[in-house]
Amino acid sequence: MTDDPFVTHRSLLFTVAYEMLGSAADAEDVVQETWLRWADVDRAEVRDPRAYLVRIVTRQALNRLRTLARRREDYVGEWLPEPLLTSPDVAEDVELAESVSIAMLTVLETLGPPSARSSCCARCSTCPTPTSLQRSTRRRPRPGRSPTGPGSTWPRGGRGYRSIVPSSSRWSTGSWRRCGPVICRCCSTCSHPTWCWSPTVAARWPLPASGGGQ
């Protein structure tokens, strides 16, 4: 059964789940749940197994995040992800290393609703067209409103994400700031729409009136 797409893409699925959850144990559970779903699917109906699997794992991880979010609200001190032992090769893949870095996972945890966060991670980790990220709207505080005030979707904690995310990374050079909830906007531009997160997230984070909605 080595040609089963699930087996082929297992490490990708684990990576996506881990990026979203910051926990290897939870990520492993989610991958197992994904397999259960996958086992029930009529394979003949699936055009792109990789995209399909990523979508299942994203949804499962999102479900898990909602449960975890409640638990982490009561977490004493700053929540840190579960570290992963990786091979030195991972460090050579700069994007991958960055997306699973402790700094990134910690920052994602400080982002508001899990749905926003997950859409962000799922997007960045799987989208084959990162340029569409660049086209999405910059996430700016509205004039006259504190970016960390009530109702804000900015990372909590005041000290902000800048100091946590390495300044050399592409995240702090601009794309990260465009990569908040409004990330959904680029779903419409993505050439692989099946990889994009659900429209319900987009509905929850309405697109700003101005800005490119290509």
Partner 1 sequence: VVGSDRVATLLSRFKSVAPGAVVGTVWLNGALAGRIDLAGELDTAVTFVVEDGRIARIYAIRNPHKLARLDEEATLSR
Terminus-to-terminus CA distance in the chain, angstroms? 42
The answer to whether 178 and 138 have CB atoms below 8 angstroms apart is yes
- Restricted to residues 72-131, the positions that interact with partner 1 (CB under 8 A) are 80-88, 90-91, 93, 95-103, 105-106, 125-126
34 sits near partner 1 (criterion: CB under 8 A): no
Phi-psi region for residue 67, left (φ > 0), alpha (ψ -120 to 50) or beta? alpha
- Restricted to residues 4-33, the positions that interact with partner 1 (CB under 8 A) are 11-12, 14-15, 18, 23-25
Q: Which of 163, 173, 194, 200 binds partner 1 (CB under 8 A)?
A: 163
Q: What angle do CA 12, 188, 115 make, to 5 degrees?
A: 55
Please say which residue, 101 or 132, places its beta carbon nearer to partner 1.
Answer: 101
Please say which residue, 49 or 208, places its beta carbon nearer to partner 1.
Answer: 49
48 sits near partner 1 (criterion: CB under 8 A): no
Backbone angles phi, psi at 69, to 5 degrees: -55, -40
> How distant is the alpha carbon of residue 27 from its chain centre?
13
Q: What angle do CA 147, 171, 207 make, to 5 degrees?
A: 55
201 sits near partner 1 (criterion: CB under 8 A): no
Q: How many residues bind partner 1 (CB under 8 A)?
A: 38
Please say which residue, 24 or 69, places its beta carbon nearer to partner 1.
Answer: 24
Amino acid at 207: L
Residues lying near partner 1 in the complex (CB under 8 A) are found at: 11-12, 14-15, 18, 23-25, 80-88, 90-91, 93, 95-103, 105-106, 125-126, 163-164, 166-168
